[in-house]
Chains A and B, each alone.
Chain A
């Protein structure tokens, strides 16, 4: 079974701080995805990383895929209250399904 472990489980910071959250596995994944979910809504896809060592930037968010394609990280620079939400990583299992980590709940206070 391919499992994705996310850390930390919960993170509470002040506006303007930087943070990094992690997604780790003992298995190799062909790609990893990051989603953000706001309370009471469905997850929204942020990015897909495919190549080992790949770095993708989305405004203040920087996503990195590990060289061995077993882990990924999400770094947020100068966090804002609008960044609050549950951050989920996911990786493909077989041809049609994804396995999800349990998520990191981020709370950014003004």
Chain B
């Protein structure tokens, strides 16, 4: 069976500090990978998605970047965090079709 991991689970970072969130998927190969941000328990905002190693599509211009150094690894980064980067970050994967499977999320608080 497939599993998806995210870490850390929670993170408190000062404004201007760097960020690295990691997501890994087990039990499948060549998945589509996604990063979302969710504010205040509401809808999901798609930030980045990747259909293969080194292939990144950005949906929203912002202070963040993404990389996919390995088939089942997806990383969300920032060089300098802003207060507005606070939120709940979710990683997801999908295979054929559009059904997506989400990780447990990372709660980021920028202070």
Q: Is B82 an interface residue (CB 8 A)?
A: no
A interface secondary structure, majority: strand
Q: Closest residue of chain B to A91, judged by CB?
A: B98
The residue that B103 contacts in the complex, of A42, A45, A100, A105, with Cβ under 8 A, is A42
Across-interface contacts of A90 in B (CB, < 8 A): 98, 100
A91-106 with Cβ < 8 A to chain B? 92, 96-98, 100-103, 105
Query: A94 CB to closest chain B CB, in angstroms?
Result: 10
**Judging by beta carbons under 8 Å apart, are B44 and A96 in contact?**
no
The residue that B43 contacts in the complex, of A41, A44, A92, A100, with Cβ under 8 A, is A100
Q: Is A110 an interface residue (CB 8 A)?
A: no
Q: Closest residue of chain A to B44, judged by CB?
A: A100
Query: B65 CB to closest chain A CB, in angstroms?
Result: 18
Query: A10 CB to closest chain B CB, in angstroms?
Result: 11
Q: Closest residue of chain B to A99, judged by CB?
A: B46
The residue that B105 contacts in the complex, of A41, A92, A102, with Cβ under 8 A, is A41
Q: Is B74 an interface residue (CB 8 A)?
A: no
Q: Which 6 A-B pairs have the closest CB atoms?
A: A42-B102, A102-B43, A92-B98, A100-B44, A43-B102, A100-B43
Known A41-B104, A45-B99, A100-B44; further 9 A-B contacts with Cβ < 8 A? A31-B98, A48-B99, A88-B43, A88-B44, A97-B34, A97-B46, A97-B98, A102-B42, A105-B41
